[in-house]
Structure 1
Amino acid sequence: MPLPAGGRAQRTLLRDQAFRALRHAIVDGTLRPGERLVDVELCAWLGVSRTPVREAIARLEQIGLVTVRPGSSTTVSPLDVRTAIEAQAVAAAMHELAAREAVPLLGEDHLSAMTEANERFRRALLATDPDAAIAADDAFHQVLVAVCGNRRVVSVLDEVTPLLRRMERARFSSLTGRASVAQHARIVELARAGDADAAARANRENWLTLRPE
């Protein structure tokens, strides 16, 4: 049947674009904890109407990145230790599951990609470059998440990971994250040996070392 131009698909696309842009700005520190979010300014920055912005903010509130006070203000949520600990526990469990399911399916190309990502991670830490460190850490763990092919794992991690990224930024801005380099190498070693259970436990422990301050 004939369909009208635009419609819900376009609206959803704009909402998702606004959500991703705002989430990234919060995670990378462009929008700092406590900063007030003004609809008019956000609309101008993102180049969208108020509806996608409000829908994006509702999603950000749901995952804990913004605080909405009806009739008053919308602000970037403060770094909350309890929220971070909860998100950390969930992320660790999901990455444990991803490793357990992925290891039997890994090829040498996957292991090489993880090793290369870990080397980029090491260099980024030495250069005190948190953006590069986070990108390399993402690339390392994404190999296991992608290979495991579990869409529920992807969905849950998409929700909880941004809550940890602000905490990681502080940790990876110094050399306190150096232990993760050795932990990553151990995960690759266990995966290459085909020990899915041990690799899964090591992956979980790696995420649990990201202790909130």
Structure 2
Amino acid sequence: MTQDPPPFDLKHAREAFATSARLHGEATRRGAAALTPDDFDRLRAADAAHVAALREGRIEDAIHADDDFHRVLLDAAGDPDLRVSVDLLLPRLHRMDLWIFTRKAFSAGDNTHPEIIAALQAGDVDTAVDLVQRSHSEAGEALSAALERT
């Protein structure tokens, strides 16, 4: 049975995105060696969908495409506990992602997906992990900073 997530205090945005950064970083580290050519195709397709959705102002589609991108890495990691942990956090993150991705749609922001793909293809797992973790952490920091200004 799917339920709406409980109310979320936005003051915890920094912590939620830091947790997300750690989980997705671990998925990237564990899954990197298992990525196949089909996985790289899925990563590129998810990134293309993400970029198109942002360009066209389709925020929820951009969020789902970003989820699809990171889901490839979670799938490759093959760790059901890691997947459950991410899935438990996603409803709360999606609430905050609406602000983050709306901001990205109106200003050319960083899209680290191409760099992540390039690092993974080059076998540079540490750089890929750093990029994944940084993108999640910076999102939480940006939202937290905006909340502190209000």
- Contact kept, 8 Å, 1:125 with 1:177, in 2: the verdict is no
2:135 is equivalent to residue 135 of structure 1? no
How many equivalent pairs are there?
141
- Contact kept, 8 Å, 1:99 with 1:200, in 2: the verdict is yes
Q: Which residue matches 1:117?
A: 46
Q: Per-residue CA shift, 1:83-124, capped at 9, x if unaligned?
A: 222211111000000000111111111111101110110010
Structure exhibiting the larger radius of gyration computed from Cα positions: 1
2:109 is equivalent to residue 179 of structure 1? yes
- Contact kept, 8 Å, 2:14 with 2:137, in 1: the verdict is no
Q: Give the aligned residue type for 1:109.
A: D
Q: Give the aligned residue type for 1:115.
A: R
SS in 2 for 1:90: helix
Instruction: Summarize the Cα distance change of 1:177–1:206 in structure 2 as closer, same or farther, 3 Å threshold.
Output: farther
Q: Which residue matches 2:85?
A: 156
CA RMSD of aligned residues (A): 1.7
- Contact kept, 8 Å, 1:187 with 1:203, in 2: the verdict is yes
* TM-score, normalised by the number of residues in structure 1: 0.62
2:64 is equivalent to residue 107 of structure 1? no
Q: Which residue matches 1:85?
A: 14
Structure 2 residue runs of 5 or longer lacking an equivalent are none
1 or 2 for the larger relative contact order (CA 8 Å, sep ≥6)? Answer: 2
Q: Percent identity?
A: 26
Instruction: Summarize the Cα distance change of 1:87–1:176 in structure 2 as closer, same or farther, 3 Å threshold.
Output: farther
Q: How does 1:1-213 map to 2 (within 5 A)?
A: 16=1, 20=2, 22-23=3-4, 60=5, 65=6, 77=7, 80-174=9-103, 175=105, 178-181=108-111, 183-210=112-139, 211-212=142-143, 213=146
Structure 1 residue runs of 5 or longer lacking an equivalent are 1-15, 24-59, 66-76
- Contact kept, 8 Å, 1:101 with 1:196, in 2: the verdict is no
